[in-house]
Structure 1
Amino acid sequence: MTLNEGGGLQLKELSERTGVPPASIKFYLREGLLPAGQAITATRARYSPQHASRLELIQALRRVVGLNIAQIRKLLKLADDGVPRLELLAAVQRTVLRLDEVGTEHGDIRTPAGDAVVRLRNWPDAPSDARNALNAHVALMDSLNIPVTTELLDAYSKALDTIADLDIAATTAPDDVNRLIMTAAVGMHMHSQLVLKLLAFAQASHAIRRYEDA
């Protein structure tokens, strides 16, 4: 982060601009989530608009997405280390959608169902946390004798391919890394919830049609 030459905000002004209490700002500074400002005196510092942007990101990740301090710190470190955008987005997706909690700890997983989806949609045949998570879930469904047919995978993946295209176009546009993480994380969280809610609505509607006469 860099400060504008000759400008900047003092902590009180930073708090007023972002709506984040001074105590919270000091906590984020101690935790390393927010870089130190430019020292004015031994007890005062000046902060830049980038500090405000980072604060808004931290608040969104905590309040909207529900991430904890450790998760936020890990994402911000990747951003500050300048990792490639694809790697950063993969980390955001893994964290926000909790892909590391669904059987992906054993490395790359391959299943016929996952390979079938790649062929059906002509997606890149490359390893990812998302692919591993799908394969782990399909394996779980198989163990519970819940059939996952090619027809089912084709219908689901076709609909979601269109949704994903819209999501990625919207969430990867910002050049500023804080805005990129904000848009991607909040977008992934809220859009995935929207898909689940729409699916629930559709299921309820089909059930009503089928059973209301009976």
Structure 2
Amino acid sequence: MRLAELSERSGVSTATIKYYLREGLLAPGHQVNATTAEYDEEHLRRLRLVRAMIQVGRLPVATVREVLEHVDDDSLGRTIRLGAALWALPQVPEPDEDDEYVQAAHREADGLLEVLGWANARMLTTVSPSYRSLVVAIAAFRRLGYDWDAQRLVFYAMLMHEAARYDLDFVEAQPSEAEKAESAVISAVLVEPMLQALHRLAQEEESARRYGFG
């Protein structure tokens, strides 16, 4: 398809597509002559992914480019490839390791992983942004005077483990390694907001059931 058709099918303007091409978010088309290029279904799929990351995920172009570089890196094994792509997404700042709340949160998080038997996750605690996010959240709870210990978090962790199984079932159903990595990014960018929305809707529903609307 030509640029105009790619624009029509994707709903993205030709000017924006050209910008994505210049920024390296979209692979160049197959050059027909000096002024014309052809694009295929892979360009269309990638373009839709880029739009979702920018419009729905609110990711800056530089972050999208970094994520896609990992998605397209054939030299990486699947676990590292997926992890690298996800870790390139925006993360919480590094916690202050001298803070007593952070130190306590590390103990709670480590205890949680031990109770769950998540040996692989425990090996990644020094590098995983997800582990860092957990520590930051637990520390914030402790500062507010709430004691969310490992036992209280086990229930939530088990729910998330089931969600992760569904996520990876979806990833494994994709035909190529690049599409598997892409689908993992889609899950992070789009599924996580849906899970958050469902959690809040469930809280609203349960609150109304318990307390009514008065």
TM-score, normalized by the shorter chain, greater than 0.5: yes
Q: CA 1:181/1:63 → structure 2, altered by over 3 Å: closer, same or farther?
A: farther
Instruction: Provide structure 2 residue ranges, at least 5 long, that are not aligned to the other structure.
Output: 98-102
RMSD in angstroms over aligned alpha carbons?
A: 2.9
Distance in 2 (CA, whole Å) between partners of 1:85 and 1:121 is 24
Q: CA 1:11/1:204 → structure 2, altered by over 3 Å: closer, same or farther?
A: closer
Distance in 2 (CA, whole Å) between partners of 1:55 and 1:209 is 43
Listed one character per residue, the Cα deviations across residues 3-36 of structure 1 (whole Å, up to 9, x for unaligned) are xxxxxx3323333343332212211111121222
Instruction: Provide structure 1 residue ranges, at least 5 long, that are not aligned to the other structure.
Output: 1-8
Distance in 2 (CA, whole Å) between partners of 1:176 and 1:157 is 30
Q: SS at 1:194's partner residue? A: helix
Distance in 1 (CA, whole Å) between partners of 2:172 and 2:17 is 27
- The residue correspondences of 1:1-214 to structure 2 (distance < 5 A) are 9-82=1-74, 83-96=76-89, 98=90, 100-103=91-94, 111-123=106-118, 124=120, 125-127=122-124, 128-212=128-212
Q: CA 1:34/1:190 → structure 2, altered by over 3 Å: closer, same or farther?
A: closer
Distance in 1 (CA, whole Å) between partners of 2:172 and 2:10 is 24
The number of equivalent residue pairs is 202
| TM-score using structure 1 length | 0.78
8 Å CA contact retained: 1:104, 1:129: no
Offset of 1:104 from its aligned partner?
5.8
Task: Name the aligned partner's letter for residue 38 of structure 2.
Answer: R
Match in the other structure for 1:5: none
Task: Name the aligned partner's letter for residue 121 of structure 1.
Answer: L
| TM-score using structure 2 length | 0.78
Q: SS at 1:111's partner residue? A: helix
Distance in 2 (CA, whole Å) between partners of 1:121 and 1:137 is 19
Offset of 1:73 from its aligned partner?
0.7
Greater than 4 Å deviation, 4+ residue runs: none
